[in-house]
Structure 1
């Protein structure tokens, strides 16, 4: 009997030994539920290993006799987790209080152990940045988010350059992206801070157009709160508001990225929620199609009337992420559908939703731009909605939206989706004036030098203002555009402007005496949505300064946002700006704030103060 038991146990053990390996999947996060990338995941005692992706996910083949998995990353405490019968293992790592040099030494010692990465002579000690295992060398990990470099506008002499020209910008993506960084406990990269988009994120109470033009201009001048002796000129544009029932019919094509990188909770799942909000706004005369792209592109839903909401939402629910990204192929298919169902007097638009990672297909940015520009000329516009974090390609998606005569937004939560697709439905999708440009001529009698705050990526040459072939920004129903200039009045001495060499063929001395009380003239050019010929109108601005506390809430709040942007960018022109001053000025200009966006702004400033304003906190 005992012999039989021994044989039976031997058979069971033999069967267990030869069981096939199994796959364990999981996610590694920190205590705040944020994913941790590039975590080394290995089998205790040696064997093949892997590492987590940008979303903290991992997948590892585990032998049946393996007892535990080991999780390691520089800056975090190593963790050994026993292997149970479950196929899913979610892990939380805590930060390591040791100095970076000590942590690096620990990794070097571990590298000598079997199954781990071996020490290399090419290894260099790291400071606080995370590391990635690559071959035999531990290298610095570089964030895969990308932003266009911003060379901040400086002061220009009116005597040498009296005219300034730029394209309007109604994009708001930079603000919600900055909010995402701050809410995650990080200061945003300086190039992610586009001040004009932060200012234009908010609505302002400008008067509606009353004349023949679909856009109205307002202007105010006050003293600069952060640079004594200088002044701020606040310019506001208001597009005509058209009620939803009077908007033209829409031919919309949702182009949805379902590649593997879109699997995170703040990407495809949030995208579905966001687009469902938009679907709720559609009417029977509107039509919508769904195109999904990953390794290849395909039609998920053919053009469907907007009142068939359940059909559209069911199609959205079926979308799943997986595969690589063929962005170019998807764009071509979406444009083909939009062209086949083109509405001559309607709103024809492709809405691209992506994390911006175009890595297969037409991945060359210039080729994508050419395609989108061609379709724009045919009356099909492109709007881009950015989602997610980690591999977010802000630089690329912003350019695509600009070339497509559409707006660009970054959706970081469902409240932002509601703002874009419910509260500002008309402005997001329906163009009132396209290729809107602003040109300002300053009077040297009153202005010595000027600086446009933000709009670095929107600058135009003087001659491009009257060139109808030059693309510019568009304004939708009810949209507002705000621009702020900081100016050096005549006779003021400041270190911000240097002495220019005398001009040989023109006078560079004092301006000719005249009795004009105009400080500048604001010119605006725009095209009607169905026209390629621009219309020009202008408005002179008097050299009248209003005390800051008596200015409109529009100016006071917009200037506080501008000041915040200067601090986030650590601008050389920030002067005496402080986070505390931003908070005080913003609180005094909340207005109605029915949706709470302005009060939320103050909370973000407080977060930035705690992260970056140690010198201010120490004063309290």
Structure 2
């Protein structure tokens, strides 16, 4: 009988930990699926090589998220396991890191850079890197902000790595705001409620006290919370200001509108209101990563995953400028010359692909970039047998973007010339971002990983000396070593 007691106790604890919803009793019949279903990810597959004779133009939306990197870091360093393949979005691993790309042309809110080198994991191929840098945040000329914190306080948020972690971060966030900014707090569990009306940030302690008062319990009416948050944001809308909702949740929506497609439709309805979105995912076991990433993607927003106190500092303090959008609906288009390039493959951005005609269609949604943020994309290309690119214009990068308060896109271009540079002689930007891309292919066992290895990646990283104020790049070197033993 003694051996049965722990099982009975576990069974009782599971029953009591289930969030009760009397309108949906059917879901609790299969409570094992609720408790142990695990994190949910969208399967995006992997971009293949494309023939330039068939499709010579590649078009995609930028991705300024960083959630996938901090999530895979949690798997490797905390759980000591490699992440599920679907959890790995290569572009988010690359764009997690701050890079000191130059911003020296105030004609546009974003500047472009790029280069070509040989490919370190397949010497018959080349790499083509596209870099973007957003203008820095001028603290003396910053827009007044209207923030709405939308915080999930349902029962599933009760653990220390969820609501309590978010509360700590939101209090740090309050300290970064100007006294002229405003913050409202909306929570949702079984229903949505206004905890704090829009309050001037000169009353920082009042806002912090409201955050401290939050506790968890109940089911998760996420859609109702989203609707309420947008209503509050519009009621307090600042014309020519910075209007943003920041959502903190594990994404375990189970009351009202709860399936991914319907939630995306709801967000798309709100997208044109002039309110931007930041989505913060937390926790493990029932993290609905797929839905949170798509909500941010479709809602003029970005998505981050919070796994540690240091990650809180990165999102709320070190990268505070990203809460200020400088360009929206940013699209990239590259036209390849079939006489020079036989095939090409965009590494990552699988769920950010656009049709060729979408590039000039100003009704087509795309990604946003915050102040001082950098974006990188890497193509692996197979040159034609006859190709001689030395000092020839290899590609033209075309970009279209909109200013945050306009609906008409602005074009910009940059020509890239091939200097026949070996990877070992390429910029530290190329070495570092290609190393991250290679690591992503290695941990997912990509068919395109070539002859890369953890030791090769470590060697490439050790050849770089990029600015690393907060030690995240150095931490990545440790993650590579940790992953090699799993």
TM-score normalised by structure 1 residue count: 0.73
Q: Out of 154, 160, 166, which is 2:60 matched to?
A: 166
Q: Out of 258, 263, 268, which is 2:158 matched to?
A: 263
- Return the alpha-carbon distance in structure 2 between the equivalents of residues 516 and 247 of structure 1: 42
Deviations 1:227-276 (A, max 9, x none): 12111111101111122232101111000000011011100110001111
- Return the alpha-carbon distance in structure 1 between the equivalents of residues 176 and 341 of structure 2: 48
1:323 aligns with 2:198: no
8 Å CA contact retained: 1:557, 1:590: no
Aligned-residue offset at 1:47: 7.8
Q: Out of 270, 275, 284, which is 1:375 matched to?
A: 270
Alignment of 1:211-610 (within 5 A): 211-427=106-322, 429-491=323-385, 517-610=392-485
8 Å CA contact retained: 2:125, 2:383: yes
8 Å CA contact retained: 2:115, 2:418: no
> Which of structures 1 and 2 has the larger relative contact order (alpha carbons within 8 angstroms, sep 6+)?
2
| SS in structure 2 at match of 1:407 | strand
Aligned-residue offset at 1:468: 0.4
CA RMSD of aligned residues (A): 2.6
- Return the alpha-carbon distance in structure 2 between the equivalents of residues 316 and 300 of structure 1: 9
Aligned-residue offset at 1:590: 3.7
8 Å CA contact retained: 1:41, 1:49: no
| SS in structure 1 at match of 2:160 | coil
Identify, as 1 or 2, the structure richer in helix.
2
Closer, same or farther in 2 for the Cα pair 1:514/1:385, shift >3 Å?
Answer: closer
| SS in structure 1 at match of 2:43 | coil
8 Å CA contact retained: 2:100, 2:467: no
Closer, same or farther in 2 for the Cα pair 1:182/1:143, shift >3 Å?
Answer: farther
- Return the alpha-carbon distance in structure 2 between the equivalents of residues 370 and 363 of structure 1: 11
- Return the alpha-carbon distance in structure 1 between the equivalents of residues 461 and 204 of structure 2: 40
What are the ranges of 5 or more consecutive residues in structure 1 without an aligned counterpart?
1-39, 59-133, 493-510, 612-620
8 Å CA contact retained: 1:563, 1:574: yes
Aligned-residue offset at 1:202: 0.6
Larger Rg: 1
What are the ranges of 5 or more consecutive residues in structure 2 without an aligned counterpart?
19-28
Stretches of 4+ aligned residues off by more than 3 angstroms = 40-44, 46-49, 51-54, 513-516
8 Å CA contact retained: 1:209, 1:239: no
8 Å CA contact retained: 1:171, 1:201: yes
- Return the alpha-carbon distance in structure 1 between the equivalents of residues 8 and 478 of structure 2: 48
- Of 241-250 and 173-182, more deviation after overlay is shown by 241-250
8 Å CA contact retained: 2:391, 2:419: no
Aligned-residue offset at 1:451: 0.5
1:50 aligns with 2:11: yes
- Return the alpha-carbon distance in structure 2 between the equivalents of residues 149 and 392 of structure 1: 15
